[in-house]
Amino acid sequence: MPKTDENEDTAVIYTDGACSGNPGPGGWGVYLKWGDHEKELYGSEKATTNNRMELMAAIQALEALKRPLPVVLYTDSSYVRNGILTWMNGWKRNGWVNAKKEPVKNADLWRRLDEAAARHEVDWRWVKGHSGDSGNERADKLAVQGRDEAAGRR
């Protein structure tokens, strides 16, 4: 995918997922910055997995954009970044079957992410989680808030 320089017309997005147990109550969080605008989004599910919440964060972030934009999307999930950049073309070519000839896990969300990403020019960047990156920390806090609400802790 093409690299996008961050400028005033580029949306900068941080996404994260959180889950207590796998499966268990989970949440996703998004911190989005575009020009002078900032937005925080989060949500939850009562019984889910961390990978599903990581995917949902990226989906919700891209679907929240009202028009096609260049996007720099930061994720601390190698699963999301590798899936979208490395594995997805093969999955689509093979009818959503993986290299082990098994159905792709979370194919419903991968398809939705593929559709959401197709509207934008996305530069997928990995950031180490819990390393002090302020955008990642904000997304993590939102994901934890969603997880805690799903677990009935708020």
Of these residues, 27, 29, 45, 54, which one is catalytic?
54
Does the annotation mark 76 as catalytic? yes
Does the annotation mark 133 as catalytic? no
Of these residues, 9, 35, 108, 130, which one is catalytic?
130
Of these residues, 17, 26, 27, 146, which one is catalytic?
17
Does the annotation mark 120 as catalytic? no
Of these residues, 27, 83, 123, 140, which one is catalytic?
140
Q: Which residue has the tokens 């009202």?
A: 66
Cα gap 124→36, rounded to integer Å: 22
Does the annotation mark 130 as catalytic? yes
Q: What is the 3-state secondary structure (H, E, C) of 20-50?
A: CCCCEEEEEEEEEEECCEEEEEEEEEEEECH
Q: What are phi and psi of 42, to 5 degrees?
A: -155, 160
Of these residues, 16, 45, 120, 123, which one is catalytic?
16
Of these residues, 26, 29, 43, 76, which one is catalytic?
76
Does the annotation mark 148 as catalytic? no
Q: Where are the beta strands (DSSP E) in 8-115?
A: 11-19, 24-34, 37-48, 70-75
Give the count of beta carbons closer than 10 Å to the beta carbon of residue 105: 14
Does the annotation mark 8 as catalytic? no
Q: Which residues are catalytic?
A: 16-17, 54, 76, 130, 140
